[in-house]
Amino acid sequence: MNGNSAKSTATMVAIVALVVGGGAGYLIGHKNDSTAKTNTSANTAPAADTKAAGLRVILNNLEAQHVDLAAAATRAGFDGSAMFPAAGDALSKNTDALTAAIASVYGDEAGAKFKEIWASHIGFFVDYTVAAKKGDKAGMDKAVQNLNGYVEAISTFLSNANPNLPKDAVSQLVTEHVMLLKTAVDKYGAGDFAGSYEAQQAARDQITTKIADTLAGAIVKQKPEAFQQ
């Protein structure tokens, strides 16, 4: 990494959380639902009025926004809506912003690698949506296969960036995230609009309550000096 300032570290934290489109925070220090509520480790959601709490808020907002943008784009693509270019542009700008932030912390080479991985999964969801609209089962299967490759790539990237993000844990939650968004597309294609929005809400819940809160704790554990009052 190329920065020691709290500002650079905070930027890195926010970006790493968005990169996941899923993450490992929930599984770190949360072995099951019964223990999650009482866990008081460094990975538990931070208390109010601290720098760590500010990080938690940032991650919740950004992760929820990611889900909503992805859902809007896939629905617009499925419908052939005139809104699709604008939705795609919003996702592209998001990718560019994330890439710039990653590069500012990890260097240009890492930023370029991140952009390649992150942009690929957006493209794979577009491929899945197009194939689903045509009823092209082979195309849908191919897109799912490619999304599985994305899970492997992003899990490796993140686990290498942060020792508190075990690859298997990242992979499990990224897979869950991908499947929830896939369900939103499938439900929409079947005309089950209520079910599609339920899947979108489930994806938002998964990102904010399972990922963002505990991921914030995991990153604070990695760089505690940046979050001291």
Residue 1 inside a domain? The answer is no
Residue 200 inside a domain? The answer is yes
Residue span of the structural domain in which 54 resides = 6-224
pLDDT tens digits, one per residue of 207-229: 777 766 666 667 677 767 766 66
Cα–Cα distance, 111 to 82 (Å, whole number): 31
At residue 154, what is the residue type? Answer: I
- Domain count along the chain: 1
Neighbours of 201 (CB within 10 A): 14
- Residue predicted with more confidence, 43 or 136: 136
Under the banding of pLDDT at 50, 70 and 90, the label for residue 186 is very high
Q: Are 159 and 170 in contact (CB under 8 A)?
A: yes
pLDDT tens digits, one per residue of 88-101: 888 787 777 667 65
Q: Residue 161: what pLDDT?
A: 79
Cα–Cα distance, 71 to 67 (Å, whole number): 6
Residue 141 inside a domain? The answer is yes
Residue 229 inside a domain? The answer is no
Residue 143 inside a domain? The answer is yes
- On whether the pTM is more than 0.75, the answer is no
Residue 197 inside a domain? The answer is yes
